[in-house]
Amino acid sequence: MTKKVLLLPGDGIGPEIAAEARKVLNVVNDQFGLGLELDEALVGGAAIDAAGKALPEDTWAKCQAADAILLGAVGGPKWDNLPPAERPEKGGLLKIRSGLDLFGNLRPAILSPQLADASSLKPEVVSGLDILIVRELTGGIYFGEPRGIRTKENGVREGYNTYVYDEEEIRRIGRVAFEAAMKRGKRLCSVDKANVLEVTMLWREVMEDLAKEYPEVELSHMYVDNAAMQLVRAPKQFDVMVTGNMFGDILSDAAAMLTGSIGMLPSASLDVNGKGMYEPCHGSAPDIAGQGIANPLAMIVSAAMMLRHSLGMEEAAVKIEQAVDAVLDQGLRTADIWSEGTRKVSTAEMGDAVVAALQV
């Protein structure tokens, strides 16, 4: 049985890291006889340049037909002056997320022991770190209406967005988080701003309600400002965190950095049936695009996550993760995670090293 995997390289460093993930997928495909059929399509700025819009029909059709999607990153200064709805982010990435109803975003922040020195925090604060951030991805202020920029009667312009969640949206992301907590340390911290925002007062209420169905999970609540502080003060206190779209966007970048580099972290965005899109947590990094220095590991471990969560190919996923571990053990580092005494390698050299480690 074949499985259709759609590769969406996107913009900036996207194509560079996607090329390395493709090498890795081709190898495990052969090794394990996975029957993966890899296809590729344009999205984001690359699609705007080639086809006039960030999510061309052809790409969208392939997204719908795919069993799983692996995306690099989208966006860049070249397209920043387009109207918001046409930009790579809103016109491409967010359209796929919401069009496929990929509401459940899993962002693990795990510190590889080899990289304890690369973290900006003291090794004892981060060593052994293993957090899972569950971010709601298709609602909240990212999608709330009304939204826009308007001119008031006095001629002054104002920008406005709407932060809205209904209880069903909260419950379904809550369920994802409670289920994840059950498979881990059974501790869930729900992050909100319930001291100010009504929408998150409801959020808190629904989480409390859900907790009754998961008596084994210890649920706590934290305001988002405190959560940001606690993440950099004592991150190991967390097991699973669940939060809305925007807070999750911010906290997951902070959590990623605890692990040494945002260039290491994968993410999964899943619908109710587990179909998903997988992407590194980092962005398109236009400042280093085209230089061959980007870290492809987040993309490569995103591919592993895809094999595990959407395609049921656990063995191949583990093999890729072990290969990544092996190259870190060998002391190979891209510039973002390089430190004295390790060997600096390019994007392609890192990808090739993972491929070599798969073959031993």
b/e burial code for range 295-327 (CB count within 10 A of at least 16 → b):
bbbbbbbbbbbbbbbbbebeebbebbbebbebb
Q: Which residue type does 337 have?
A: I
Beta pairing partners, 218: 187
CA 166 centroid distance within chain: 24
Q: Which residues ranging from 248 to 277 are in contact with Mg ion (CB under 5 A)?
A: 249
The answer to whether 225 is a known catalytic residue is yes
The answer to whether 278 is a known catalytic residue is no
| Rounded distance between C-alpha atoms, residue 249 and residue 220, angstroms | 20
The answer to whether 193 is a known catalytic residue is yes
Closest approach, Cβ 79 to Mg ion, in A, equals 17
Count of CB atoms within 10 A of residue 61's CB?
11
Binds 239: which of Mg ion, ligand IPM, none (CB < 5-8 Å by kind)? none
The answer to whether 130 is a known catalytic residue is no
Closest approach, Cβ 17 to ligand IPM, in A, equals 15
Q: Which is nearer to ligand IPM, 286 or 292 (CB)?
A: 286
Closest approach, Cβ 273 to ligand IPM, in A, equals 21
Look up residue 218 and give its two tokens.
């210890």
Candidates 186-194, 228-236, 246-254, 298-306: pick the segment binding Mg ion (CB under 5 A): 246-254
The owner of tokens 């990623």 is: 256
The answer to whether 253 is a known catalytic residue is yes
Q: How many residues bind ligand IPM (CB under 6 A)?
A: 5
Q: Which is nearer to Mg ion, 75 or 296 (CB)?
A: 75
Residue 274 neighbours by CB under 8 Å, 6+ apart: 309, 310
Please pick, from the candidates 11, 16, 89, 336, the single residue that binds ligand IPM as defined by CB under 6 A.
89
Catalytic annotation, pick one of 142, 165, 214, 278? 142
Q: H/E/C letters for each residue in 307-334?
A: HHHCCCCHHHHHHHHHHHHHHHHCCEEC
Binds 192: which of ligand IPM, Mg ion, none (CB < 5-8 Å by kind)? none
Residues 307 and 313 sit within 8 Å (Cβ to Cβ): yes
Binds 75: which of Mg ion, ligand IPM, none (CB < 5-8 Å by kind)? ligand IPM
Q: Which residues ranging from 244 to 273 are in contact with ligand IPM (CB under 6 A)?
A: 249
Catalytic machinery residues: 142, 193, 225, 249, 253
| Residues in contact with ligand IPM by the rule CB under 6 A | 75, 89, 93, 249, 283
